[in-house]
Amino acid sequence: MVGRIWAIALNTFREAARIRVLYGIVVLVLGANLLAVVLGQMSIHEEQRVARDIGLAGISLFGSLTAIFLGVFLLYTEVQRRTIHAIVSKPIERWEFVVGKYVGMAVVLTILVAMFAVAMILMLAWQQVGVSGEIVRALVLAWVEVLTVAAIAIFFSSFSTPFLSGIFALAMWALGRVTPDIEAAIKTGSGWIRATAHVALEIVPDIHLFSPSGRVVEGALVSVNGDFITWGYVGLASLHGLGWIVGLLAFACVLFHRRDFA
Amino acid sequence: MTDTVIDVRDLRKTYRTPFRRKKVEALNGVTFEVKRGHIFGFVGPNGAGKTTTIRTLMGLIRPTGGTATILGHAIPSRAARYKVGFLPESPYFYDYLTIAELLDLAGRLFGMSRDARRKRADELIERVGLGRARGQSLKKFSKGMLQRAGLAQALMNDPEVVVLDEPTSGLDPIGRKEVRDLILELRDHGKTVFFSSHILTDIEAIADQVAIIARGQLQALGTPAELVKRTVLGIDVTVRIAADAAIDELVAGASHVRRTGDELALTLATDADVDAWLVAARERGAKVIAVEPRHETLEDLFMREIAGAA
C-alpha cells in the first residue's frame, strides 16, 4: 500500500515540478518580501513588524493559492487526459491514488513553503530581525494552512471541474479565514443572517486558527508577535487542520471511488 | 485450473445524459467467455460498446447490471488486476516521463522490487523496439511509439491475461504486423489475449475467437471458421490481357471488375460457366493468372451483422 501511494506521490511531484506557474509564484513571493522591506521602511518604527507580517501573509496567501491551483488541476487532468486509465487498471485502490496525489502535492507545497520561509528569513535578516520562536511557530501554522487548503481543493476536484473546484475551494478558504466575523454575525445578526452564518461555520475549517494575528481571545487582541502563540496552540491548530485534511480526503476517496472513467 | 479466463454474463451499462437525464444503453446484456490461451478478437463499429466493455472489465466503469469475472475474481478486483495487463485505447501517458520511468511507475504499482523493475523494463524496451528512444520523454514519441510504450507497460507484470483496446490503431503496416506477431507470441507463451480492433484483417489473421458487437449487444460469437460461411460467393479470376484488347463481353455480368495495365481481375457469379469464360478470354489473347473461389470474409460477416443490428 505504502509503495503504491508513494509511486503516485513521486509521479505527482514530478508533474507539479514541471508546472511553470509555480516558478512564477516563487517570484511573486520574493517580490512580496521585497515589498515588505519597502513598506517597512515607510512605516514609523514598525519596520520589523511590517516586514514580518507581510512576509508571513505572503506565505499564507501564495501558499494557499498554489495549493488550490495544484489541487484542482492535478487530479482533474488525470481524468481529463485519461492518464488515469493506465493507472487504476493496475492493482491500486482508488483511495490509494487520491491519497498518493495528495501526498505528492503536500511534498511540493512543503518545499514551496520552505522556500518562501527561507526568502522571508533572509529578508528579516536584512532588516536585522532574528528568527524567533514566534516566527517558527507562525511558519508551521502557515504550512498547516496550506496543507489544509490543498485537501479542500482535492475534495472538490474529486467530483467537479477545475473552474468550479477553484471557486468552491477559494470560497471555503476565504470563509475559513473570517470565522471570527462569522461568529460575530451569529451573535449580532438576526434571522437568515444568523442561520447562514451558523451553516457556514459548520461547513468550513477554521483557517483563521492558522493566522491568529489580530484575533481577539478572551477579550485580548493576540498577535503572532506575542507570547500567546505557544507550541500548545500550534499543536491544537495543527490537529484541527489534520482532522479536516483526513475528513476531506476521506470524502474525496469515497466520491472518487464512485466515478466512471469513460 | 479453470479453462475460462474472462466470463461476462448479461453485462449492462446505462448512462444518463447530463441535463435531460435521458437513458443511453451502452451495453445491453453482453455475454461471452474467453478461454485460457486463446486470442479473443472483439469487433464492432464506433460506439458499439467495445471500449465500454473493456473499461468495465478493467474496473474503470461500474456496470449497471450483469456480472463479469477475470481469472475467477469478480470485477473490479485488485487480485485479478495483478495478473492482467491493459493497453487503453489511444493511450495517454505522462508525457514528461521516459519509457524507462513509465515502466518503473507501472512496476511500482505491481509491487515489483527495484531490480525486478529495472530488469523487466530493459527487456521490454528492447522487445517493443524502443531501445533507441530510451532517453527521450514520451512527449517526443510518435503515435506508433506511444502504442509500443503502452504495450510495454501492459506487459510489465508478465500478465496471464492481456487486454488490448485497439492495439493496432495508428500504426503503419509494419507496426501492425509487429503487434500481431507480439500477440501471437504471447499466446505461444500461454497468455490469453483479449483485444478489440476496427481492422478486420488483423482479427481474422490471428483471433481464435471473434465477437461482433453493435449497439451494445453481441451480434455474433464463435471461431472465425464457425462464423464465416464456407459457401462460395463467386469465382475470382485474374488474367493478363493486352491493354487495348476488347473486354466488354468478358466483363458483362461480372462484379468487382478491376483493370490495372495489362491485368484484369473480376468476380464471376457462382453459376457462371467459368470454362467458357476462360476459353473466350484465351481467344482474346489472355493468359490466366489465377482462378479461385471467393468465400465470405469476416468483413462480409461484419457488414451483414452490423446491417442486421441497424
The domain made up of B232-299 has a fold known as Alpha-Beta Plaits (3.30.70)
Task: Report the pLDDT value the prediction gives residue B2, as an integer from 0 to 100.
Answer: 62
- Whether ipTM > 0.90 holds is no
Q: How far is B147 from chain A (nearest CA, A)?
A: 12
User: Of A218-232, B20-34, B44-58, which range is least confident?
Assistant: A218-232
Task: Report the pLDDT value the prediction gives residue A119, as an integer from 0 to 100.
Answer: 86
Across the interface, do B105 and A262 touch by the CB < 8 Å criterion?
Answer: no
For residue A262, is it within any domain?
Answer: no
Domain B4-227: assigned CATH number: 3.40.50.300
- Testing the interface with A: which of B56, B81, B82, B94 to mutate, by most A Cβ within 10 A? B94
Q: Residue B194: its chain A contacts at CB < 8 A?
A: none
Q: Between chain A and chain B, how many beta carbons pairs sit less than 8 Å apart? A: 78
Residues of chain B with CATH 3.30.70: 232-299
Which one of B61, B62, B106 has the shortest CB-CB distance to A90? B106
Across the interface, do A81 and B59 touch by the CB < 8 Å criterion?
Answer: no
Q: How many CB atoms lie within 10 A of CB A156?
A: 27
Residues of chain B with CATH 3.40.50.300: 4-227
Q: How far is B114 from chain A (nearest CA, A)?
A: 11
For residue A51, is it within any domain?
Answer: yes
Q: How far apart are CA A73 and CA A81, in angstroms?
A: 11
Its pTM stands at 0.83
The total domain count for chain A is: 1
Which one of A14, A82, A92 has the shortest CB-CB distance to B109? A92
Range of the domain at A48: 2-257
Q: What residue has cell string 460469437? A: B221
Q: Of the candidates A257, A90, A82, which has an alpha carbon nearest to the alpha carbon of residue B163?
A: A90
Q: What is the pLDDT of residues A59-72, one digit of tens each?
A: 888 999 999 999 99
Mean pLDDT score, A82-86: 91
Q: Residue A6: its chain B contacts at CB < 8 A?
A: 108
Strand duo B192-197 + B39-43: pairing: parallel
Q: Of the candidates B281, B287, B284, B274, which has an alpha carbon nearest to the alpha carbon of residue B236?
A: B274
What are the cell numbers at B149?
A: 510504450
Q: Residue A3: its chain B contacts at CB < 8 A?
A: 108, 111
Query: Using CA of residue B241, residue B246, residue B249, residue B253, what is the dihedral sign?
Result: positive
The distance from CA A216 to its chain's CA centroid, rounded to whole angstroms, is 22
For residue A19, is it within any domain?
Answer: yes
Taking the CA atoms of chain A, what radius of gyration do you get in angstroms? 19
Interface residues on B facing A, Cβ-Cβ cutoff 8 A: 15, 52, 55, 58-62, 78-79, 81-82, 84, 86, 88, 90-94, 96-97, 105-106, 108-111, 150, 153, 157
What are the cell numbers at A150?
A: 490543498
SS3 category, A259: coil
DSSP A89: T
Q: What is the pLDDT of residues B25-55, one digit of tens each?
A: 888 899 999 999 999 999 988 888 899 999 9
